[in-house]
């Protein structure tokens, strides 16, 4: 959480400096907008390798934009989403036999840049729409869980791949991770003080444990139960009893991804300046 606070504080300082530097042209409020977004979120990883928009859940959040010029805007976002996946829904026999599943809430804080393809400014009748692309740097908090006897249990503390035991050298993976959000969008003004945007974004993460399935091996159930408990042994391998799972639980060569997308409405925090410049 201290890392998140530092990012938010840094963004606030940057926005303040830019606002004071360009104060003679437009005041800080007229160059700033605040918005609300709603849409969906989904995941790509070991339990859902290729199907975009599969098991999409509701996501929502807030966005702050600072207008630098007609082509560039600084942005900061806070978002919530949920992702989930099930081996049982796969079309691959090995995944169906593995029979793992998970769901996780995602809390994300990010900041970065928007690049407008066309000249654009909120409140300007001549430059009132544009497609855009964005790239951010962010952090997110995850908490992969799964159903166990009718209850959701958090997987990170259980150690399904022998984390924090004598069976492997792995420690428990962090629940707060870095991400690089990037994507495309389209925005158009709704009069002088408001705009609407459609946005689709992917998140490159640096963890393989958003789904609790990483590079670890299927361990001996009796040994894992002795080290990390019976629940860990049960959730590490949920394949049918007649199937013996061996080798890696997931693909160690790839990291997990997630997406957030939807619609956002933004509102100017001050009176738009009638003077437009590039």
pLDDT digits (tens, 9 = 90+) for 137-189: 999 999 999 999 999 999 999 999 999 999 999 999 999 999 999 999 999 99
Chain segment 52-71, per-residue pLDDT in tens = 999 999 999 999 999 999 99
24 band by pLDDT with thresholds 50, 70 and 90: very low
pLDDT score at 268: 95
Give the domain extent around 214.
Answer: 2-268
Q: Give me the phi and psi of 146, to 5 degrees please.
A: -150, 165
Quick check: helix, strand or coil at residue 159?
A: coil
In a domain, 37, yes or no: yes
Asked whether residue 116 is domain-assigned, the answer is yes
- Output the pLDDT for position 243: 83
Task: Kindly calculate the radius of gyration of the chain based on its CA atoms and give it in whole angstroms.
Answer: 22
Are 42 and 56 in contact by the 8 Å Cβ rule? The answer is yes
Which pLDDT score, from 0 to 100, does residue 9 have? 54
> How many distinct structural domains can be found in the chain?
1
Question: Longest Cα pair distance anywhere in the chain, in angstroms?
Answer: 75
List the beta strands (DSSP E) in 100-175: 101-116, 129-141, 145-148, 151-154
Pairwise CA distance, residues 186 & 198, whole Å: 5
Residue 22: per-residue pLDDT: 46
- Stretch (H or E) spanning 224: helix 221-228
> Looking at the domain assignment, is residue 273 inside a domain?
no
Q: What is the CATH number of the domain that holds 6?
A: 2.40.160.20
Confidence of residue 2 (pLDDT cuts 50, 70, 90): low
Which of the four pLDDT bands, split at 50, 70 and 90, describes residue 271?
confident
Comparing CA positions, the residue from 80, 46, 44 lying closest to residue 62 is 80
- Kindly report the average pLDDT of the chain as a whole number: 90
Domain-embedded: residue 209: yes
Instruction: Give the mean pLDDT of 197-206.
Output: 98
Cα(227)–Cα(277) distance, integer angstroms = 66
Residue 14 domain flag: yes
């Amino acid at each position: 959480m201290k890392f998140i606070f530092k990012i938010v504080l840094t963004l606030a300082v940057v926005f303040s400096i830019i606002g004071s530097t360009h104060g003679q042209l437009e005041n800080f409020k007229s160059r700033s907008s605040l918005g609300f977004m709603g849409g969906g979120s989904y995941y790509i990883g070991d339990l859902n390798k290729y199907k975009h928009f599969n098991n999409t859940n509701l996501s929502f959040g807030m966005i702050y934009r600072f207008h630098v010029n007609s082509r560039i805007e600084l942005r900061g976002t806070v978002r919530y989403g949920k992702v989930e996946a099930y081996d049982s829904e796969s079309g691959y026999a090995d995944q169906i036999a593995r029979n793992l599943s998970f769901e996780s809430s995602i809390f994300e804080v990010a900041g970065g840049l928007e690049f407008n393809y066309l000249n654009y400014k909120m409140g300007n009748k001549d430059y009132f729409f544009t497609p855009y692309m964005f790239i951010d740097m962010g952090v997110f908090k995850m908490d992969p869980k799964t159903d166990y006897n009718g209850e959701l249990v958090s997987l990170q503390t259980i150690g399904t791949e022998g984390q924090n035991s004598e069976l492997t050298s792995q420690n428990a993976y962090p629940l707060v991770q870095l991400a690089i959000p990037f994507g495309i969008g389209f925005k158009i003004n709704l009069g002088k003080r408001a705009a609407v945007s459609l946005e689709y974004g992917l998140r490159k993460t640096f963890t393989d444990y958003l789904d609790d399935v990483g590079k670890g091996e299927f361990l001996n159930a009796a040994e894992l139960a002795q080290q990390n408990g019976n629940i860990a042994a049960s959730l590490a391998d949920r394949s049918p009893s007649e199937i013996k799972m061996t080798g890696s639980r997931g693909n160690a060569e790839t990291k997990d991804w997630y997406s957030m997308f939807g619609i956002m409405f933004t509102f100017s925090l001050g009176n738009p300046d009638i003077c437009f410049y590039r």
